[in-house]
Amino acid sequence: MQNSNSFSLERLIAEARRLHLAGDFRRARATAEAVLRNAPKNLQALEVVALVEMEHGDLAEAIRLVKRIAKELPGSAEAQYNLALAYRYSGRLQLAASGFSLALKLNPGLGRARAELANTYANLGQFDSLARVCRTMIEINPNDPRPYSHLAFNLPEALSDQDFALMRKAGSDPKVPHGTRTSFLFSVAEILRRRGMHDESFAALKEANDLTVSTLRDATVPTSAIAPAGEKPRLTTPEAAATAHALVCNYVTDLFTPDFMARFGGHGERSRVPVFIQARSRSGSTLVEQILASHPGVFGAGEIPDLSILTNMRWPYGGPSSDGGKRPEEPPAPVASYFRDIGREYIARLRKIDAQASMIVNKMLGNYVHIGMIDLCLPDAVIIDIRREAVDNCLACYQRQFRTGHEFTYDLDALGAQYRRYVAVMEHWDRVLPGRVLRVGYEELVGDPEPQVRRLLDHCGLPWNDEVMRFHENARPVRTASLSQVRRPISTASVAKWKPYARHLGPLFESLGELAPVLPAHPTPPLPVSRPQSDETLASSRLS
């Protein structure tokens, strides 16, 4: 009987793990909790619950659970890795770095711990340590694209001509797995860009993006090949991603009308603690967060999903009811408490991140579709929109390989369409909630920083502090693709970066329509997009 019960628990644990890997967090948690009701000390089931909390729940609870597991299994590299990962997700990156280092000490062959250690050093801006870990990764496996990517985008001078030759060879070899090949191609494109070889850079870039789109559309190719190893991607096709985004944008603009806001407004939690920075990727949001987080009392929490978690499938987002009827016209609880309770729960989650800060910044970019809900639940929250020139913004996305959730960034036409939808949603909020959102132009911010920084601080109700102009000296962790830029003083170097590529960007200009810049009457025709020059030619060019 005991053996039968053990076998049943093992099956449940296996099922919980399968559901977690499939992204079915609710059923994964329920299955693991069923094991724990029969075996409260079962560490395997506890691990599933912890991982669910880490990815789609309460990070403080995830840390508590993985700490318990690591204490029970002090010699387990896997347990130390999970604890370090929880620290990393919560922004406690020094603890994460120590944890990944301990996991590697316990098991030097745990490759994903070394990869996460590299990510963490990059986030911390500890580039000497990053270079050391990347070099170790290259020595262990010269065909792993991740260390080359870190160096290409953060420390290009650390790459030798021999490294670059290997990168180009792997990027051009059709026998190399698609995910590995695309990663190398994105890195090659970045190195060529830095060398001023823009046509050759775009050739590698287009090949990387086209290959990614092809892989996303091919159901026979495992989507795990798209994301860096160690991730569990939730990927779809660019077309499906665009359709889903259009549905969301249409839903919120149809739902949050002036009448709706007037009917349900005035009942949220009154607090000045939350600050929301929202924008599109690669728009300057990390720079603005870094500026604000350099002010005493302001904590930059990065991209935290708590708002989406709290509002997901809750009224009024639920759509039609389960029996096929229309969405209820009233919330499931009295209006006087419904929105306030959601706001209070959000504040409680912020306080688990930082208990003392006077303001806590959440820069989850997709929150622009939630501005109506933010206003209802947190009417005193600060909302800032960062707007970058359309072509620069879209090209910057096209130049990077994202982990998950950015499937439209690999196609110029889809990028332009997504940018237009974003602008349309923001124009909707400007009509429905005039003056509610502070818009900051990226080009104005980097061109003449102090007036724009003063606007930011005034909007937040913060007094001037000289530290905000020395944001690049702030050693706080940065967990986005802009991590290297915010370690330097403000510069206009990223303004009008699209111009050397103009001859290749026809599909983007057409998709952007009136949001695209006016081009000369007789623009230079596009050059054939061919492979970069030979290694011998490239070897004579120095990295910038």
Average pLDDT over residues 32-56: 86
Q: Which two tokens stand for residue 4?
A: 């039968």
H or E element in which residue 116 lies: helix 111-124
Residue type, 276: F
Give residue-wise pLDDT tens across range 403-422: 666 788 899 999 999 999 99
Are 479 and 123 within 8 A, CB to CB? yes
Predicted local confidence at residue 6, as pLDDT: 65
Are 181 and 173 within 8 A, CB to CB? yes
404 Cβ contact list (under 8 Å, min separation 6): 227, 231, 233, 234, 235
| Residue 3 within a domain | no
Q: Which two tokens stand for residue 262?
A: 């007037």
Average pLDDT over residues 226-235: 41
Q: CA-based angle 281:282:285, to the nearest 5?
A: 80
Cis ω on the peptide bond leading into residue 228 (within 30° of 0)?
A: no
Selection from 49, 50, 39 nearest residue 8 by Cα: 39
Predicted local confidence at residue 277, as pLDDT: 95
With the C-alpha atoms ordered 448, 360, 346, 280, is the resulting torsion angle positive or negative?
positive
| Residue 470 within a domain | yes
Q: Give the count of domains, the chain.
A: 2
| Alpha helix positions (H), 141-273 | 145-154, 161-172, 178-194, 198-217, 238-255, 258-264
Pairwise CA distance, residues 118 & 468, whole Å: 28
Pairwise CA distance, residues 399 & 69, whole Å: 40
Predicted local confidence at residue 489, as pLDDT: 59
Are 313 and 307 within 8 A, CB to CB? no
Q: Which two tokens stand for residue 488?
A: 């330097």
Q: Are residues 262 and 365 in the same domain?
A: yes
- Which pTM value belongs to this model? 0.81
Any idea what the CATH number is for the domain that residue 479 is in?
Answer: 3.40.50.300
| Residue 109 within a domain | no
HSE (CB half, 13 Å, CA atoms) of 104? 17
Cα 433 to Cα 7, 62, 109, 222, 307: the distances in Å are 58, 37, 54, 44, 19
Pairwise CA distance, residues 208 & 215, whole Å: 11
Are 170 and 138 within 8 A, CB to CB? no
| Residue 331 within a domain | yes
Selection from 445, 464, 450, 459 nearest residue 296 by Cα: 464
Q: Are residues 196 and 224 in the same domain?
A: yes
What does DSSP say about strands 298-300 and 274-278: parallel, antiparallel, or unpaired? unpaired
DSSP three-state, residue 383 = strand
Are 284 and 445 within 8 A, CB to CB? yes
**Look-up of token digits 């987002």:** 317
Residue 543 has pLDDT above 70, yes or no: no
Q: Are residues 326 and 471 in the same domain?
A: yes
Predicted local confidence at residue 323, as pLDDT: 42
Range of the domain at 347: 238-497
Q: What's the pLDDT band for 219 if we cut at 50, 70, 90?
A: low
Q: Are residues 453 and 472 in the same domain?
A: yes
Q: For residue 274, what are the β-bridge partners?
A: 360
Selection from 266, 372, 267 nearest residue 316 by Cα: 372
Q: What's the pLDDT band for 302 if we cut at 50, 70, 90?
A: confident
Are 253 and 424 within 8 A, CB to CB? yes
Concatenated DSSP letters for 65-78?
A: HHHHHHHH-TT-HH
Residue 113 has pLDDT above 90, yes or no: yes
| Residue 27 within a domain | no
Are 120 and 89 within 8 A, CB to CB? no
Q: Are residues 218 and 256 in the same domain?
A: no
Concatenated DSSP letters for 233-256?
A: -----HHHHHHHHHHHHHHHHHHS
Residue 481 has pLDDT above 70, yes or no: no
DSSP three-state, residue 316 = coil
Residue 109 has pLDDT above 90, yes or no: yes
| Residue 19 within a domain | no
Q: For residue 387, what are the β-bridge partners?
A: 441
Q: Which two tokens stand for residue 107?
A: 């098991």
Residue 68 has pLDDT above 70, yes or no: yes
Average pLDDT over residues 64-82: 93
DSSP three-state, residue 382 = strand
Pairwise CA distance, residues 37 & 20, whole Å: 19
Q: Are residues 244 and 331 in the same domain?
A: yes
Q: Are residues 249 and 271 in the same domain?
A: yes
Pairwise CA distance, residues 501 & 519, whole Å: 13
Number of H helices, E strands in the chain: 24, 5
Burial, 36: exposed, middle or buried (Cβ in 10 Å; 0-12, 13-18, 19+)?
A: middle
Pairwise CA distance, residues 97 & 116, whole Å: 8
Give residue-wise pLDDT tens across range 413-471: 999 999 999 999 999 999 999 999 999 999 999 899 999 999 999 999 999 998 888 86
- Mean model confidence pLDDT for the chain: 85
Pairwise CA distance, residues 385 & 442, whole Å: 10
Among 223-227, 316-320, 380-384, the range scoring the smallest mean pLDDT is 223-227
DSSP three-state, residue 90 = coil
Q: Are residues 299 and 350 in the same domain?
A: yes
Q: What's the pLDDT band for 472 if we cut at 50, 70, 90?
A: low
Q: Are residues 246 and 370 in the same domain?
A: yes
Pairwise CA distance, residues 431 & 412, whole Å: 29
| Residue 44 within a domain | no
Q: Are residues 244 and 209 in the same domain?
A: no
Q: Are residues 414 and 266 in the same domain?
A: yes
| Residue 450 within a domain | yes
Query: Across the beta sheet with 382-387, what order do the strands follow?
Result: 298-300, 359-362, 274-278, 382-387, 438-441
Average pLDDT over residues 335-343: 94
Residue 218 has pLDDT above 80, yes or no: no
Q: Are residues 200 and 330 in the same domain?
A: no
